[in-house]
Amino acid sequence: MTNADKLSKNEGNKVYEIGFLLLPNIEETKVSGEVVKIKDIIEKKGGSFISEGTTEMRNLAYQMSKSLNGKKQKFNNAYSGWVKFEANASVINDVKKEIDGLEKVLRYLIIITTRENVAIPPIKTGKFSFNEEEKTVVEPVVEEKPVSEELDETIDELVIE
């Protein structure tokens, strides 16, 4: 394969992340086998892995249901995990179709992302002052608030009663 062939082959590649929920009734020892099924589908379609998170049981924010053996079952918790991979954009629909066929997958979401893990820093609140004598900016000790609290305060300030 020439360098031009390699470049054209990688041209349509993007970095994706699949977040998934697996049914909670899977035996704990078999959860990794279900994750391997997802990874095998990606690998079979030419994807290469970048990183993955630990799959662990979590409470769901809301009840989800899935039809199993002709019966609708409801779930309040599930095994949650993710895998980051690089693949050609043309194969993502095939990956989706195959994952749709996995019986033990409750839900999944595939997004386009970046290769690096990017964390959003917490928002600092407070005012800065200038120290005339030392000609420096003084940053006060500030309590970091979760974004939702700061957003609530901003909304409260904007609401006219």
Highest mean pLDDT among 22-26, 114-118, 147-151: 22-26
Confidence at residue 18, expressed as pLDDT on a 0 to 100 scale: 96
User: Any idea what the CATH number is for the domain that residue 18 is in?
Assistant: 3.30.70.60
Do 53 and 16 reside in the same domain of the chain? yes
pTM value? 0.65
How far is 86 from 57, CA to CA, in rounded Å? 26
**Structural domain includes residue 120:** no
CA-CA-CA-CA dihedral for 48, 52, 55, 59, to nearest 10 = -110
Contact 37, 22 (CB under 8 A): no
In the predicted model, what is the mean pLDDT of the chain?
Answer: 82
- Total number of domains constituting the chain: 2
Residue numbers of the domain that contains 17: 8-112
Q: Is residue 2 part of a domain?
A: no
In a domain, 93, yes or no: yes
